[in-house]
Chains A and B, each alone.
Chain A
Amino acid sequence: MSQLTETTRSQPLESVTGVQLAQGIGHRPTKGFWGEAWDYVIKRPGAIFGLSWISVIAFFAVFAPFIASGYPLMVRELDADGSVTSVSYPLFAQLTATDVLLLLGTFAVFPWLLWPFKMGRSDRLIAAVFLAIQSGFAVIIASIVRDVFTGRDVSNWMRSAEQSAWFPVLVAVIVCGLAALMVSWLLPFRAWMSRVLAAGVVALVTGVVIVGTWTEPLGQFDYRQREAANEIKATYTLIPFSPQEGTTDRDLQQPFNSIADAVGEGEAARIAGSSNLFLLGTDSLGQDVFSQMLHACRLSISIGLVSTAISVVIGVTVGALMGYFGGWVDLLLYRVVEIFMAVPVLFLLIVAAAVLPRNTYVMMAIIGCVSWTGSARFVRAEFFKLRGQDFVQSARAVGLPLRSILFKHMLPNGVTPVLVDASFAIAAAILAEAVLSFLGLGPANQASWGRLLSEATGQVGDFMWWLAVFPGLAIFLTVLSYNLIGEAFRDAIDPKLKKARV
């Protein structure tokens, strides 16, 4: 069969007769709706720029802990006469569960997607996304449990439970079991054996990582002093500063100043590596701006994707119910949509962010829960159109369950505008995060471009240009990238433009 297509494709178009066309010979095999759209998008210079910038951000989101860290890669303890007594690896010892899982996932996902085997590429992509969601769930739930158990005023049994050795294991087992249950039925594998296997392997890896990284060591950056005192010999990463590492005697250094510029010559002699540059300067706490910007990539990528995913899930569900049932269900649910439309998104965001805990996950949830009305209205309009069509009627006549009719039969035909709009929604979510962080309502203890930007105008008359220009530029380029990709996709699927092009 493949031979046949080969020969017919090489024929010039004129030589294909109408009869052959009717037999299915001679016309180009189509790549499917999304495949064609992708082919169009990838030719647009704007979209190419956007995709490459986001790849850069994604790279730093994964590898930032290994590029910019105040923890040495390797520490050799020296005794009095200068011989090495022991070797330790502080950088790897202080990695969090997210760091490790992201790294493992990145190294696992490329062979998984590129290795040639029987399963279709798109199926593999979907499976990878679902497994990523599964481990993400597990990490988030585990960190919430830890937050609850290590809170300020918890009862004694909670504190003692948290400190016992079996607690992380218990939490990891429960959490990963739950996450595996939640996701295993979504996986697009045919056989359930491989489903359970895939979900189980990811759950196991996640569980092991959660147990291994349960205790978060306190940040201690005394390596430079100890190295200057000839107690250790340390090897650093490319940028030898962590985002949280700062002392007030290094505050507000201009770009390309070094530690020696900050603390003065006399003091600098006591600090090893005092010629290390602050490439983009430091903020008011003496923390390196470049390191913070690299670490903030993760927040920027994840806040856009996660909050948009939340808003799409809520919006699609509500919109599908409204569009399918119509009538009083529509009337009632549309009031809810109207409630969220009537108050400006920014107003709701600010109120919610001010009264709820300052936490990355809460922030994602807030942005997602506030901005779902757009996708709900898109899906509602599409479902109104689809409701009367034959395939829906027959699905209902066969007696398929509602879930199957809504999400398996109708949704794939009506989800296009939502997915195209999602790119703009990601951009809007990143902007929202920037505004919230700027107003001082962002997640606490978290490097963020918006927070850096908010420090640019400190006291009256002060203006730290490096704190304004670089983080702002990063936000701008990221938002621009998502907007350009969104535009390209919208043009690609716009039937009006297509008609005009021909």
Chain B
Amino acid sequence: MGTYILRRLLLMIPTVIGMTLLVFVLIAASPGGIGAALNVSGGGQMESGTSKAQQQAYLEDRYGLDAPIVVQYLRWLGRVSPVKFGQRDLIAPTGEVIRSPRSISPPMHWDVFVDTLPADVAAEAPAFAFDAAATLDEKSRVYRLESQAYTRVRSEYVLSRAGYEQAAGEALRAVGLERFVNRDGTMKSGTPGSAIKAVLADAEQGPGVEQAFDESIERYAEAIAGRASLKEVFDARPFPAAGVPVIPNTLSLATPDLGMSFARGRPVTTLIAEALPKTLLLNFLAIPIIYFIAVPSGMLAATRRGGLFDVLSGGLYVALWSIPIVWACVLMLGFLANKETGLGWFPVTGLHSIDGQEMTWLPSTGPDGSFIRGYVLDTLWHMCLPVAALVYAGFAILSKQTRAAMLDNFNADYVRTAKAKGVRSRDIVLRHVFRNSLLPIITMFVSIFPAMLGGSVVVERVFSVPGMGNLVIDAIFLRDREVLLANALIIGLVNMFALLIADLLYALADPRVSYE
């Protein structure tokens, strides 16, 4: 058994990698890339006077989108992996993971213009060290200031580099080397140095490009210096290190870092921590309801096989199962929740009333004798329609499963023996048959749960429940890669563990099944 579990766990690793890679490639393949979508959704607040290409360059640098897709994916994988190599990252009190500052690439074809690049070392001042008595707050302030300064010089450099590439692109086009120009007017990344030399030799275009390059190399020097001094502060370890060391400075274990949401600028972990409880609440209310209705009716259908109840319940469940969830949601919203066109019995959106936070926990009577619902009742009232929408389709599968499992056992020899002994038919059904058919019903829970996690997308969308489903849809429209990947990762892991547990439960409960 132990080896089987280990094997399954190890096999999960390639599956998780493949799954996240699939989602990653899909998002990266979106027209215009993520940078374009961020630009549209206002991901970067830019001052006026910057061109579209510059804005794109800024966003791509900020979110690391300028690297090839494989590199981007490996970076992401490195962040979520619980096993880290090299020096440990720092963790700020806010929960943000602080990494060593990223390196900067020099402007394209610098070797055509200058012989050497500005050196990537700090001035000869003594190495930076914090005062031994400095508190965490003071250290944090020093680091923040330094990091803000670096962000500023870096973004200035990236903008000027984009300006240089654009100027070079225009010049290339002017001297007739259009094949080295991208569609947005910038120079292509594979342009040979000889093309730049040709541009510089041109009396009309040369000076402009040279000027643009001079500016960008100047900014590059500033950015390099900023990076070096930030690196010094970082090396002085202003924050406690993240994770647990296994081999010092080579291997450590740390909690996976799911990154920052592109569109909302908040850690993905917090976003999920806010959304997940709402989805879980809906599902954990819905699943017991499904069981309490479907299992007894499946039993009843099996005992009166071919009878009126069997036929009717079977037909009803197929009909319920065929109702599109979008239709059910819209009808409920229009006819039960809407005050003008329907009955208005239920609230239209959200999980709580606006004044829900001010309510008492339990129902109570107000000072003037009026009834106050209280927080719990208010939430339950809001959840009636979403839970109903989640529940109705689940009956069919579970009830059919129960019925089939019961029928299997009705044909078994031990039932005939029990009948021959004169056991009451009630006892046969409840004690013998039902107990033996319980196994597939229990393990079904494990497969229902992940399915519902995905299925609540529509319900949450229609009823404006700020759960995981809504988070996913918003993230898709904003091309918020980090949120999508984190969701795929979490849902996929939950799913695979559920499958594993289902298989193990089978083996535990049924001695005929063995994984040795």
**Interface positions of A (Cβ within 8 A of B):** 46, 153, 335-336, 338-339, 341-348, 350-352, 354-357, 427, 431, 434-435, 438-439, 450, 453-454, 456-457, 461, 463, 465, 468-469, 472-473, 475-476, 479-480, 483-484, 487, 500
Contacts and interface: CB of A to CB of B under 8 A. Distances in A.
Nearest to A467: B330
A438 B458 contact: yes
Nearest to B11: A335
B315 interface: yes
B18 A339 contact: yes
A341 B500 CA distance: 13
Contact of A344 (B18, B30, B324, B451): B451
Contact of A343 (B23, B27, B330, B473): B23
Contacts of B15: 335, 338-339, 342
B324 A343 contact: no
Q: Which residue, of B11, B330, B472, has the highest number of chain A Cβ atoms within 10 A? A: B330
Contacts, number: 141
Nearest to B400: A487
B22 A350 contact: no
Interface stretch (B148-156, B188-196, B337-345, B416-424): B337-345
B484 interface: yes
Interface of B: 11, 14-16, 18-19, 22-23, 26-27, 29-31, 183, 315, 318-319, 321-327, 330-331, 333-335, 338-342, 407, 411, 450-451, 453-455, 457-458, 461-462, 472-473, 476-477, 479, 484, 487-488, 491-492, 495-496, 499
A335 B327 contact: no
Contacts of B335: 465
B331 A472 contact: yes
Nearest to A336: B18
B322 A479 contact: yes
A435 B327 CA distance: 9
Contacts of A469: 331
B476 A350 contact: yes
Nearest to A440: B477
B288 to A, nearest CB: 21
Q: Is the interface of A mostly helix, strand, loop or mixed?
A: helix
A476 B318 contact: no
B331 A461 contact: no
Nearest to A430: B324
A487 B318 CA distance: 9
Given A335-B11, A355-B29, A435 B326 contact: yes
Contact of B326 (A348, A351, A453, A487): A453
B324 A456 contact: no
Contacts of B495: 341-344
A434 B476 CA distance: 18
Contacts of A357: 31
Contacts of B479: 355
A339 B324 CA distance: 26
B321 A463 contact: no
Contact of B322 (A355, A465, A476): A476
A475 B323 CA distance: 8
A450 B499 CA distance: 32
22 contacts: A46-B318, A335-B18, A339-B19, A343-B492, A344-B455, A347-B457, A347-B472, A347-B488, A351-B26, A351-B476, A354-B477, A355-B27, A355-B30, A355-B31, A434-B324, A435-B324, A435-B457, A457-B330, A457-B334, A457-B462, A468-B330, A476-B324
